[in-house]
Structure 1
Amino acid sequence: MKTLFDKTVLKGMKMKNRFVRAGLYLALAGEKGRLTPEIFKIYEELAKGGVGTIITGYSYIREEDQPNTNMVGIYDDSSIEDFKKFTNMIHQYDTNVILQIASGGSLTYAPIGGRKILGPSAVENQTTKITPRAVTKHEIKELAKSYAEAALRAKRAGFDGVEIHTAHGYLLSQFLCPYYNRRTDEYGGSIENRSRILFDVYNQVRKAVGERFPIFFKINSSDYMENGLTIEDSLYVAEALAKLGADAIDVSGGNESSTEAIENNLTTARTGIYNSTEKESYFKDYAIELAKRISIPVILVGGNRHIEVMEELLNKNNIEYFAVGRPLTCEPDLINRWASGDIRKPKCISCNKCYYTPGKRCIIR
């Protein structure tokens, strides 16, 4: 019988347990996206707390494409030395660290100023009310190159891998979404065309970092919006990425560029799940189906709370890893607590009040 504390290996990366800290934007970066002492402190708490692998909050890969304020950036080589100190700090606790990299497009809350905001099509973002300029095919190639350069910086800085953020309504997610992608060229229309940019990005990243460096993709199971990415189309994309050579699929859901998804509590950080095992692990049905179809590991994020629920998914449905976000914000040492035999559910009540505090801190700690 498998357990959540099994030691496993993923693309040569030793995993001391099956717990992954889900990527979470902290809003604590300094000028030009630099790491700060506060960021080091939060991630050191997490590494000390026993989680086997940390996926960082998203980092922007182009200076002009910053989805949020005080966000970490890896858009040029000047950040590498700081990141080396960061990865060395985490590694001393026998914890892996994966850098999540992203393009925001029109889902941006940072001041626009003179920045050029790009999208698959010139469609107003439902939540930010920003209308981007449709990206050209030449710019798509340049974007893929930027991902590759950022991934190579991550490798040089000592990260154990990268995760390409393709979920939640950011730029790559918008390409997959028919509402936002209304192109008539080879990057629009069918799901084969809408996902083409992901394959371009993967190929460029793989060429840059080599065959042995892990590349994860975070993808929506569904956009949960009218004319959004469907479950069947998402399964196609995930299967295609696995065949292409991606090393893990991080399953999420909900389009934050959709007022429908937000208003119906269908984004990745759902509330109202605290006292219901039926409502937790809310992307599990998709993850179960995906795990049947691909041979690479599936990482399940979204409302993972009870050990017994996760262990059942692990043993009955072959979901290999479980990402935890808000509970580790509330209790950074949660995994150590569980490992000691105290397997009570997390203290986190999924209220999302942490999202409105400096550093995304829990209000009940």
Structure 2
Amino acid sequence: MIETEKESVLFDPLNIGKMTIPGRIIKTATTETMSTEDGFVTDELVAFYEHYADAGTALIITGNFYTQRSGRVYNKMPGADHDDKIAGMKQLVDIVHQHGSKICAQLSHAGRQVFQPAAAEDPVSASAVTDKFSGVKPREMSIDEIRSFVDGFARAAERCQRAGFDAIQIHAAQGYLLSQFLTPYTNRRRDAYGGSFEKRLRILLDILHAVRERVGEDFPVLVKLNGDDALPLRKGLKTQELVAIARVLEEHGVAAVEISVGHYESGFPTICGNFNLFLKTLLNDGVGREYPRFKQLAMRLSQSILAAISNWLWPHREGFNLKYAEQFKRALKIPVICVGGFSGQKAMAEAISSGQCDAISIARAMIADPYLVRHIRRRETGPKCEFCSACLAHIGTRAVNCFHPKVSAERVLMIAREKSLPNECTS
């Protein structure tokens, strides 16, 4: 079937530094909970990503790899902290490349945003500011620890390059450690890494320089940034200052930025949707089971009210971060990728053709339908995400999957059918 000019924009090539991807639909980072307890890649993790590559997804950004074990967000998270992880990472890369897709490793450190106590026994952050969502109070990192972290990050990037990844993405969004350093509310230091705009940005620039020394100038480095910290009544970053950060990063050789929103403490602006099943799952079968008993009781008693408020404050809409992304697009020459609730071909194509962003990235709709790109190309219908976010409620407790009863049943049947079809990523 012939594509119209507007529809074909989704399959136009895009240059990200020295890397060219054959389309504008990207699989964004998804927490998988599929590695071993020691952070090694498993066959299950490889099979999870093979679906996206088989579907012809232009670029796959993995769930976050930790650069130091102390930076784990959750249990069964993959690591890039030692050379012994390279073989498993290469296995993942090779299967993706066999299908013609590109793959980018996301690197991160949790800082104070730890889902499970076992993930980080000694949480650290820019400053000792308690996370009101999890109740975790970190300790402030010392200068020596910062230097060790920067070096560990650079070494992890080099391991990703050695494993064959096409790029890396530095996670400096959504309230993780680097986001904690950028944000005045979570960074109250009075040394070389806190206070002014330049000092709060220093750790990220230190990492960029250290990474470049190890991977060279041609290896693409992407950065994930917030479009807004969404921290009302607190000293969070607004879009204007985040755009200024992105402009500095561009000057220092960053190949592209991906725009998200919020911290854990913000509530749920990062996952706009319907929260009834999410909250139920979180408490009954998710990480909420590990909350202190008084917190579990309070949430259970107020669950219906919390769901109603969340549904009102953060309803689902496609491209809910576009209002931020387009401001980055106007200020930058490098590609701007927008994540946030995309699922339909029309909304994706409009976001790009209107100049609001250069590419879109997807998590939940691709969990529901790993073959979404193939279905868009063929104008076919696959399982449609209901944005219940039950998949996210299982982070750290069960392997990522669709847990919506109707959609997940459709997903099982669809995968069995689609696996037998040819890869069309270059058609």
Normalised-by-shorter TM-score class: over 0.9
Amino acid at match of 1:137: I
TM score, norm. by length of structure 2: 0.80
Task: Provide the C-alpha distance between the structure 2 equivalents of 1:130 and 1:33, rounded to a whole number of angstroms.
Answer: 23
Task: Provide the C-alpha distance between the structure 2 equivalents of 1:92 and 1:334, rounded to a whole number of angstroms.
Answer: 19
Q: What SS does the aligned partner of 1:99 have?
A: strand
Q: What SS does the aligned partner of 1:319 have?
A: coil
Moved more, 300-309 or 344-353: 344-353
Task: Provide the C-alpha distance between the structure 1 equivalents of 2:152 and 2:257, rounded to a whole number of angstroms.
Answer: 21
Task: Provide the C-alpha distance between the structure 2 equivalents of 1:331 and 1:113, rounded to a whole number of angstroms.
Answer: 29
CA offsets, 1:108-155, max 9 Å, x none? 124358843211111112122222221122222221111100000000
Pair 1:122-2:128 in alignment: yes
Counterpart among 337, 340, 353 of residue 390 in structure 2: 353
Amino acid at match of 2:149: L
How do residues 13-28 of structure 1 correspond to structure 2 at under 5 angstroms? 13-28=19-34
Residue aligning to 1:133: 139
Counterpart among 184, 195, 198 of residue 178 in structure 1: 184
Give unmatched runs, 5+ long, in structure 1: none
Q: Is the contact between residue 287 and residue 298 of structure 1 (CA under 8 Å) also seen in structure 2?
A: yes
Pair 1:227-2:235 in alignment: yes
Q: Assess, with a 3 A threshold, how the Cα gap between structure 1 residues 172 and 114 changes in structure 2: closer, same or farther.
A: closer
Counterpart among 149, 168, 179 of residue 174 in structure 2: 168
Q: Is the contact between residue 273 and residue 316 of structure 2 (CA under 8 Å) also seen in structure 1?
A: no
Higher helix fraction (1 or 2): 2
Pair 1:93-2:99 in alignment: yes
CA offsets, 1:296-321, max 9 Å, x none? 00011111122222222212215211
Q: Is the contact between residue 36 and residue 76 of structure 2 (CA under 8 Å) also seen in structure 1?
A: yes
Q: What SS does the aligned partner of 2:15 have?
A: strand
TM score, norm. by length of structure 1: 0.93
How do residues 64-75 of structure 1 correspond to structure 2 at under 5 angstroms? 64-75=70-81
Q: Is the contact between residue 305 and residue 346 of structure 1 (CA under 8 Å) also seen in structure 2?
A: no
Pair 1:61-2:67 in alignment: yes
Residue aligning to 1:336: 374
Residue aligning to 1:325: 363
Counterpart among 247, 251, 261 of residue 253 in structure 1: 261
Pair 1:241-2:249 in alignment: yes
Q: Percent identity?
A: 31
Amino acid at match of 2:387: S
Amino acid at match of 2:90: K
Larger Rg: 2
Task: Provide the C-alpha distance between the structure 2 equivalents of 1:200 and 1:345, rounded to a whole number of angstroms.
Answer: 44
Task: Provide the C-alpha distance between the structure 2 equivalents of 1:187 and 1:9, rounded to a whole number of angstroms.
Answer: 33
Q: How many residues get paired?
A: 357
Counterpart among 212, 215, 229 of residue 221 in structure 2: 215
Residue aligning to 1:11: 17
How do residues 11-50 of structure 1 correspond to structure 2 at under 5 angstroms? 11-50=17-56
CA offsets, 1:333-354, max 9 Å, x none? 1110110123x69600110012
CA RMSD of aligned residues (A): 2.1
Q: Is the contact between residue 127 and residue 187 of structure 2 (CA under 8 Å) also seen in structure 1?
A: yes
Task: Provide the C-alpha distance between the structure 2 equivalents of 1:14 and 1:279, rounded to a whole number of angstroms.
Answer: 30
Amino acid at match of 1:271: G
Q: What SS does the aligned partner of 2:209 have?
A: helix
Q: Assess, with a 3 A threshold, how the Cα gap between structure 1 residues 298 and 277 changes in structure 2: closer, same or farther.
A: farther
Residue aligning to 1:188: 194
Q: Assess, with a 3 A threshold, how the Cα gap between structure 1 residues 345 and 176 changes in structure 2: closer, same or farther.
A: farther
Task: Provide the C-alpha distance between the structure 1 equivalents of 2:182 and 2:383, rounded to a whole number of angstroms.
Answer: 34
Q: Is the contact between residue 187 and residue 194 of structure 2 (CA under 8 Å) also seen in structure 1?
A: yes
Give unmatched runs, 5+ long, in structure 2: 276-310, 409-427
Pair 1:305-2:343 in alignment: yes
Amino acid at match of 1:347: K
Pair 1:148-2:150 in alignment: no
Task: Provide the C-alpha distance between the structure 2 equivalents of 1:330 and 1:50, rounded to a whole number of angstroms.
Answer: 16
Counterpart among 326, 348, 355 of residue 288 in structure 1: 326
CA offsets, 1:267-306, max 9 Å, x none? x2211499x9993201101111111111100011111122
Residue aligning to 2:82: 76
